């Protein structure tokens, strides 16, 4: 591997949401780009083998057995895991890890990664997400502001396609949207009552990465309008929701600048002390276990938060004995996530004549109303709510036992509306929430990941507030049989892990600068969830993509100027 003539301009580790965006942006700019994926290839349309399969065409009508749950106690907890999707998930015994405190690590090793499986909710972060950690004293200052990222949000939204309304709310900034999905009658009623009873709380239709109307840029990608089937996690043959497989990777391939290699497990990034830069990566073939090296002028780390941390921790050298760029000892620390433990269910007997059509792929969101402009609650950070209403069939449990003709007649009529509400809470970064490497090694000779992550008293206070407020809001909206409860789920099942390689202005408290460039190894960038100094309230994926596009733009200038 000759550092004077590298194999590629850029190596991107990982082909998921952020890795696909890095590849697309670099290839568009004319750079020879290698994407390394540790899992199998998944070809758009061709490899969505269950996309059009009906339940009765599958064993056990598509459900997994109790034995399979017992064999996979972690991954089987995921909402998207089942007979139709199990081939897209990492089984528990395929890549074991260690837990100091319970953590449900959900993984997808294939081309496209979790972009095939994600829930597709995409809100811009507000200025409060970037300002609140330093303002309220629970995190370091973000090195960028909302204004820095705003044009990149637009850049990403226009390409991936995001449905939603421009609602004029500072806490969830407006964007470049396609037509929104519509609320049903009871959802609109709850929206109206919340606004009437709580002037500072606003329910709006969720914003999701679905093509409610395909524009020319989406047609150029070969994508089409969403049909509201909600079989999304099986892979969408229409390309109606955004995934790397349907969008960014095919786009990058058309440029002729992309090479994609599968079954390549990156074990470490290689460092040259003379140049103080990375020279490339070392990979292990997933089948043969043969070791190979690839060289490049720039390395983008997009393996998903925990694996990105583990690769950097394993990238040791004489200069960096504790992991690449880890002079301050903070690599792997401040791992954060979203608190999903609160839920509320209820029924509503209004609008008996109303119904709805299709299976809308988003719900209604209530942006955070706590600690917006100042800390006004007993806890730090904020939380948002999501709710939806569905019309259920009549059941004996709702109306009492019935038999014969009476039972048949009642069964033919719809029952009341069922309401479901959930929280998405910001967790405060904690130094002792971390990922580190074990002395034990996996079957490829790479140290096993150890996760030591848990909840705090702050999370308990936030949960209690959600349960109280959620129940009160639904009661004032006329709901009945309200049941507010916590799920007791471990961290990780939210699949929003962030941190460990955080951005910051100060190299003594962060690993990356404002352009996601490592302070101490200038040609290595980290732009997936690992780079985040805090979790914010909103869903993170849109921010990952915008941060990636912005970092590529910066790195491309450095490449052209030969300064990286």
125-167, pLDDT tens digit by residue? 999 999 999 999 999 999 999 999 999 999 999 999 999 999 9
Does the pLDDT of residue 220 top 60, yes or no? Answer: yes
DSSP 43-67: -TTTT-TTTT--GGGSGGGGPPPHH
CATH number at residue 285: 3.50.50.60
Report the pLDDT value the prediction gives residue 400, as an integer from 0 to 100: 57
The residue behind tokens 């109307």 is 213
Reported as half-sphere exposure (CB side, CA atoms, 13 A), residue 273 has a value of 6
- Please indicate, yes or no, whether residues 308 and 414 belong to a single structural domain of this protein: no
CB of 267 closer than 8 Å to CB of 280? no
Residue 120: CB atoms within 10 A of its CB come to 24
Residues 325 and 364 in one domain: no
Please return the burial class of 413, using the count of CB atoms within 10 Å of its CB with bins 0-12, 13-18 and 19+: exposed
- 324 and 388 part of one domain: no
Say whether pLDDT at 401 is over 70.
no
Does one domain contain both 259 and 302? yes
Which helix (H) or strand (E) element contains residue 300? Answer: strand 291-301
Residues 109 and 83 both lie in one domain: yes
List the domain range (segments joined by +) for residue 23: 8-121+231-337+434-453+494-560
CA 346 to chain centre: 28
Q: Is 395 a residue whose pLDDT tops 80?
A: no
Q: Is the pLDDT of residue 444 over 70?
A: yes
Q: Give the per-residue pLDDT at 412.
A: 74
Q: Are residues 467 and 349 part of one domain?
A: yes
Q: Cα 110 from chain centroid? A: 16
Query: 35 and 68 share a domain?
Result: yes
pLDDT of residue 394: 62
List, in sequence order, every beta strand (DSSP E) within 383-537. Answer: 383-393, 414-426, 434-441, 447-452, 480-486, 498-500, 517-518, 521-526
Report the mean per-residue pLDDT for the chain.
95
Q: For residue 355, tell me if it sits in a domain.
A: yes
Question: What separation in angstroms does the CA of 369 have from each of 172, 183, 372?
Answer: 11, 21, 6
387 and 364 Cβ atoms separated by less than 8 Å: yes
367-384 average pLDDT score: 97
Q: What is the pLDDT of residue 405?
A: 79
pLDDT of residue 3: 52
In a domain, 299, yes or no: yes
C-beta atoms surrounding 268 within 10 Å: 22
Q: In this structure, is residue 291 part of a structural domain? A: yes
Percent share of the chain, pLDDT over 90: 91
Number of domains in the chain: 2
Average of per-residue pLDDT across 345-369: 94
Q: What predicted TM-score, i.e. pTM, was given to this entire model?
A: 0.96
Percent of the chain with pLDDT over 70: 97
């Amino acid at each position: 591997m000759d550092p004077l003539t590298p194999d590629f301009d850029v190596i991107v580790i990982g082909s998921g949401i952020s890795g696909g965006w890095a590849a697309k942006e670099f290839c568009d700019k004319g750079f020879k780009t290698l994407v390394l994926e540790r899992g199998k290839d998944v070809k758009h349309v061709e490899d969505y083998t269950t996309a059009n399969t009906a339940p009765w065409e599958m064993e056990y009508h598509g459900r997994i057995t109790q034995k399979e749950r017992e064999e996979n106690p972690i991954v089987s907890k995921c909402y998207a895991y089942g007979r139709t999707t199990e081939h897209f998930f990492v089984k528990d015994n395929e890549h074991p890890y260690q837990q100091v405190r319970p953590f449900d690590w959900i993984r997808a090793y294939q081309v496209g990664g979790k972009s095939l499986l994600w829930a597709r909710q995409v809100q811009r972060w507000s200025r409060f997400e970037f300002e609140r950690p330093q303002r309220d004293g629970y995190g370091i200052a973000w090195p960028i502001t909302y204004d820095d990222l705003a044009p990149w949000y637009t850049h990403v939204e226009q390409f991936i396609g995001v449905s939603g309304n421009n609602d004029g709310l500072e806490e969830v900034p407006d964007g470049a949207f396609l037509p929104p999905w519509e609320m049903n009658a009871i959802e609109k009623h709850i929206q109206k009552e919340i606004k009437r009873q709580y002037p500072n709380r606003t329910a709006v239709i969720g914003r999701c990465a679905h093509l409610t109307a395909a524009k020319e840029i989406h047609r150029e990608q070969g994508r089409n309008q969403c049909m509201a089937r909600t079989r999304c996690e099986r892979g969408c043959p229409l390309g109606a929701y955004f995934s790397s497989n349907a969008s960014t990777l095919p786009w990058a391939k058309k440029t002729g600048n992309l090479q994609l290699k599968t079954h390549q497990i990156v074990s470490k990034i290689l460092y040259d002390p003379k140049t103080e830069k990375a020279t490339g990566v070392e990979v292990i073939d997933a089948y043969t276990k043969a070791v190979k090296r690839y060289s490049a002028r720039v390395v983008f780390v997009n393996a998903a938060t925990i694996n990105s941390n583990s690769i950097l921790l394993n990238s040791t050298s004489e200069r960096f004995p504790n992991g690449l760029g880890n002079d301050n000892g903070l690599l792997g620390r401040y791992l954060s996530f979203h608190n999903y433990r609160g839920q509320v269910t209820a029924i509503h007997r209004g609008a008996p004549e109303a119904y709805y059509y299709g299976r809308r792929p988003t719900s209604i969101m209530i942006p955070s109303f706590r600690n917006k402009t100042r800390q006004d609650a007993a806890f730090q950070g904020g939380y948002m709510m999501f709710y939806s209403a569905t019309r259920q069939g009549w059941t004996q449990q709702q109306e009492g036992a019935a038999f014969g003709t009476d039972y048949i007649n009642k069964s033919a009529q719809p029952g009341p509306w069922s309401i479901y509400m959930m929280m998405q809470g910001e967790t405060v970064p904690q130094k002792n929430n971390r990922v580190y490497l074990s002395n034990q090694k996996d079957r490829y000779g790479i140290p096993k990941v150890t996760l030591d992550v848990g909840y705090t008293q702050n999370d308990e206070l936030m949960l209690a507030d959600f349960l109280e407020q959620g129940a009160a809001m639904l009661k004032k909206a006329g709901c009945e049989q309200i049941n507010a409860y916590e799920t007791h789920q471990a961290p990780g099942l939210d699949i929003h892990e962030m941190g460990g390689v955080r951005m910051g202005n100060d190299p003594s408290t962060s690993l990356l600068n404002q352009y996601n460039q490592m302070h101490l190894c200038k040609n290595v960038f980290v732009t997936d969830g690992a780079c985040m100094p805090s979790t914010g309230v909103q869903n993170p994926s849109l921010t990952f993509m915008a941060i990636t596009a912005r970092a590529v733009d910066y790195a491309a200038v450095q490449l052209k100027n030969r300064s990286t």
